[in-house]
């Protein structure tokens, strides 16, 4: 049986890797074409290539479910087309046993995906996004479409981005009078570092506003005392989809303790944590197509059907995410219910074919 497991594993794993490579290459080219619209004097084609290359771990992770399903369909379909599955079943090997052999390499892929999602893609994605922001801005103010606002008393801060090592970029500070609520000063710092339990902002430009004039001033550095550590600042600034599961959980608990909304971070957390169940259910459906209603259909038909099912699961999860806010159920069920429904559908088809 070890030989059979190895043979099926090689067939499925090679197909998954080929599909994943093709999908990743296509996604790479589309992302690069999309970046061409943002080229300027400081952000050239070589910079765009480097940026897209640095985002490959995250793209690999995002494409994993559909890549595994389509690859499983192709790998098992190839064995079925050559009548090898028929010979294996004639030898007394059950469908469940064959599916178990398929799941073994899938578990290895899931482990690789977990390691990438936890330790690799969060770092490379943050570095890539900051590289893009700094190159596009040149020597001008650092701005970003995914920056965030933060308030402390009568001061409002805007942060464009944060580097993986905890360095801040594009910091703006607006100070208002506590009584009149009028704007008193504006300052901007291109970058800042965390030193001695505080943020040291460098090359600060200050504009002090009075009823009669605006006074401009530049200082080398300004120290900002705050409870926001680099790790917490990173979770505030970076989009949920780019964070590691452990970071998502940590920040969601931080928000809950302060009575703030944590739904988006919990939803992203459960999407990543429950990805193995989602992938397993998609592989089960892929196997059911090969052994069930599509066993005699052309390979293209099986692949097309698999893509439709994979997209349906994803879209249902995307729809149930906002619905969990409206109807007040846990975000976990928005991810788990479609995955379990998909697994049940695959199990029913396999039972009928057996």
> Tens digits of per-residue pLDDT, 117-151?
999 998 898 888 878 877 876 655 555 555 677 77
Instruction: Measure the CA–CA gap between 222 and 189, rounded to whole angstroms.
Output: 9
Going by pLDDT thresholds of 50, 70 and 90, the confidence category of residue 1 is low
* In a shared domain, residues 200 and 321: no
Q: Give the domain range for residue 278.
A: 2-136+262-353
Q: What is the mean pLDDT of residues 57-77?
A: 91
Residue scoring higher pLDDT (334 or 146): 334
* In a shared domain, residues 115 and 12: yes
* In a shared domain, residues 128 and 23: yes
Q: With a cut of 80, say whether residue 334 has pLDDT above it.
A: yes
Instruction: Measure the CA–CA gap between 116 and 112, rounded to whole angstroms.
Output: 6
Q: Is 163 helix (H, G, I), strand (E, B) or coil?
A: coil
Q: Find all residues with CB under 8 Å of 333, minimum gap 6, and list them.
A: 320, 324
* In a shared domain, residues 46 and 125: yes
Q: Is residue 86 part of a domain?
A: yes
Q: Find all residues with CB under 8 Å of 232, minimum gap 6, and list them.
A: 251, 254
Q: What are the DSSP calls for 30-46, one per residue?
A: HHHHHHGGG--SSS-HH
Residue-wise pLDDT tens digits, 281-303: 999 988 888 887 666 667 677 77
* In a shared domain, residues 6 and 132: yes
- In this structure, the strands spanning 214-224 and 155-162 are unpaired
Q: Is residue 314 part of a domain?
A: yes
* In a shared domain, residues 181 and 326: no
Q: Is residue 249 part of a domain?
A: no
* In a shared domain, residues 193 and 295: no
* In a shared domain, residues 227 and 106: no
* In a shared domain, residues 21 and 120: yes
User: What pLDDT sits at residue 240?
Assistant: 84
| CB 284 within 8 Å of CB 99 | yes
* In a shared domain, residues 53 and 87: yes
* In a shared domain, residues 216 and 180: yes
Average predicted confidence (pLDDT) for the chain: 85
- 198-207 contacts at long range (C-beta below 8 A, 24 or more positions apart): 198/223, 198/224, 198/225, 198/226, 199/168, 199/223, 199/224, 199/226, 199/228, 200/224, 201/168, 201/171
Number of domains in the chain: 2
User: What pLDDT sits at residue 129?
Assistant: 81
User: What pLDDT sits at residue 217?
Assistant: 86
Residue-wise pLDDT tens digits, 175-207: 888 777 788 889 898 888 988 888 999 888 888
Instruction: Measure the CA–CA gap between 83 and 93, rounded to whole angstroms.
Output: 14
Q: What is the mean pLDDT of residues 100-115?
A: 91
Q: What are the DSSP calls for 206-228, one per residue?
A: EEEE-SS-EEEEEEEEEEE--S-
* In a shared domain, residues 19 and 82: yes
User: What pLDDT sits at residue 294?
Assistant: 62
Q: Which of 220, 237, 254 lies at the terminal end of a domain, its last residue?
A: 237
Going by pLDDT thresholds of 50, 70 and 90, the confidence category of residue 45 is very high
- What is the pTM (predicted TM-score) of this model? 0.80
């Amino acid at each position: 049986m070890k030989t059979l497991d190895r043979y099926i594993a090689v067939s499925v794993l090679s197909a998954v890797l080929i599909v994943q490579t093709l999908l990743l290459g296509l996604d790479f080219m589309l992302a690069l074409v999309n970046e061409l619209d943002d080229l300027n004097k400081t952000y050239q084609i070589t910079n765009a290539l480097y940026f897209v290359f640095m985002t490959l771990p995250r793209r690999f992770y995002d494409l994993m479910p559909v890549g595994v399903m389509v690859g499983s369909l192709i790998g098992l379909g190839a064995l079925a087309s050559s009548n090898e599955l028929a010979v294996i079943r004639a030898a007394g090997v059950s469908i469940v046993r064959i599916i178990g052999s398929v799941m073994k390499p899938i578990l290895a892929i899931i482990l690789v995906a977990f390691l990438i999602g936890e330790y690799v893609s969060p770092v490379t994605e943050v570095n890539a996004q900051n590289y893009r922001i700094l190159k596009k801005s040149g020597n001008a103010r650092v701005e970003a479409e995914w920056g965030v606002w933060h308030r402390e008393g009568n001061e409002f801060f805007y942060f464009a981005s944060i580097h993986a090592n905890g360095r801040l970029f594009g910091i703006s500070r607006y100070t208002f009078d506590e009584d009149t609520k009028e704007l008193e000063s504006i300052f901007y710092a291109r970058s800042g570092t965390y030193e001695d339990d505080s943020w040291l902002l460098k090359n600060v430009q200050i504009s002090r506003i009075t009823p009669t004039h605006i006074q401009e001033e530049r200082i080398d550095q300004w120290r900002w005392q705050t409870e926001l550590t680099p790790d917490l600042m990173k979770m505030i600034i970076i989009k949920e989809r780019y964070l590691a599961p452990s970071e998502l959980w940590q920040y969601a608990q931080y928000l809950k303790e302060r009575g703030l909304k944590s739904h988006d971070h919990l939803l992203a957390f459960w999407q990543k944590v429950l990805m193995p169940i989602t992938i397993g259910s998609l592989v089960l459906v892929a196997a059911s197509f090969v052994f069930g209603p599509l066993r005699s259909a052309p390979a293209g038909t099986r692949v097309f059907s698999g893509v439709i099912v994979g997209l349906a699961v994803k879209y249902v999860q995307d729809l149930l995410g906002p619905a969990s806010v409206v109807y007040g159920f846990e975000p976990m069920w928005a991810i788990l219910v479609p995955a379990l429904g998909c697994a049940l559908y695959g199990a029913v088809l396999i039972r009928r074919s057996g």
